[in-house]
Amino acid sequence: MDNYLNKFTVYLKKEKNMSKNSILAYGRDIRGFIAFLREKGVERFEDVSNTEIVSFLLKLKNEGKSAATVNRKLASLRAFFNYLIVLHKISNDPTANIKSPRIERKNIEFLTIEEVERLLAQPDDSIKGIRDKALLELLYASGMRVSEIAGANLSDLNLRIGFIMSGGEHGKARIVPLGKPARVALEKYLYDIRPKLIRDKKDTEALFLNYNGERLTRQGIWKLLKEYGKSARLEHKLTPQILRNSFAAHMLQNGADLKSVQELLGHEDITATQIYLSVTKNRIKDVYDRTHPRA
C-alpha cells in the first residue's frame, strides 16, 4: 500500500503541480488511513469498502477532530482513490456517496476601513517602519496569503505596471494588481531600505528581508502584525487572515463581483469565496434599517 502512496505523491507533484506543503498534508492523511486499515487487518486497497471509510471518519470524530479536519482527510481519500481508479488498481470508489460533515461557519473577522487606515498609519520612518509599511500595504492591497508574501521574490513584482505575481497555494500562479498607495510604499522600501538590509548577498531574491539580510518568515510577519494591531488598538487580534478577509470584504462591499474576488484570492472553488457574501448581506440590512422610512 505504501508503494501506491509514494506514486500518488509523485503524481501530485508532477501532474497536479501542487505545493510541497499540500503534498505533505495529503501524505499524512493517507498514511493515517493506511495505519487504520492495518489495525483492522486490511492489507489491500481492493478490499476497502464504504464501511472502512465511514469507520475511519467516525474514529476521527470520536478523537475530537473538528469537522473541517475530517472534511480535509475525506477529500484526501477521495483524491487518492480516484487516482487508484485511473491506475485500474480498483474498480469502485469506496468514498462515493459519503457526505462531508457539515461545518458551522464562524463569523468572519475583518477590519473596518477606518481601522485599516489607522493600522497603516502606525509604521514610522525608521528602516523597520518603512519596510513594515510596504508589507502592510501589500497585504491589504493584494489579499495574498502570508505564505505567499513570505515566499515572494523581487522578480514577482512589477511596480511599473502595478502588479505582483503570486505562486498560489497549489502552485498555480495568478496576477494581483496593486493600488497606488501600495506601489508608493513598496517603491520607497525597495530603493531606500532593502539595500541596507542585504548582508553578504544572502537570499537577495527575497522581496522582504529581516535585519540579518534573510527572507522575512511567516512567523516574523505574524509577530509584526501582532505588534501593529496592538499599537493601533484594534478590536481584533490582528492576523494575516484578518487582513485577507478585510481585502475581500471591502472589495465586495464596494461592488466587486464574486468571480473577480475569487480569482484575486486564488480560490480554486467559488464556494470558498461565498463565505464573504454574508458580509455584504449584513451591510445591506444595516443600510436598509438606517435609511428605509418603514424599516
Q: How far is CA 104 from the centre of its chain?
A: 19
Lookup result for grid cell 424599516: 295
Which residue among 38, 211, 233, 288 is the active-site one? 288
Residue spans of alpha helices (H) in 15-49:
20-39
Question: Is position 244 annotated as part of the catalytic site?
Answer: yes
Q: How far apart are CA 74 and CA 60, in angstroms?
A: 11
3-state percent helix, strand, coil for the chain, nearest multiple of 5: 60, 5, 35
Which residue among 244, 276, 290, 294 is the active-site one? 244
How far is residue 52 from each of residues 41, 45, 102, 280, 284, measured CA to CA in Å? Answer: 11, 11, 20, 42, 47
Q: How far apart are CA 36 and CA 42, in angstroms?
A: 9
Lookup result for grid cell 493600522: 119
Question: Is position 288 annotated as part of the catalytic site?
Answer: yes
List the catalytic residues: 244, 288
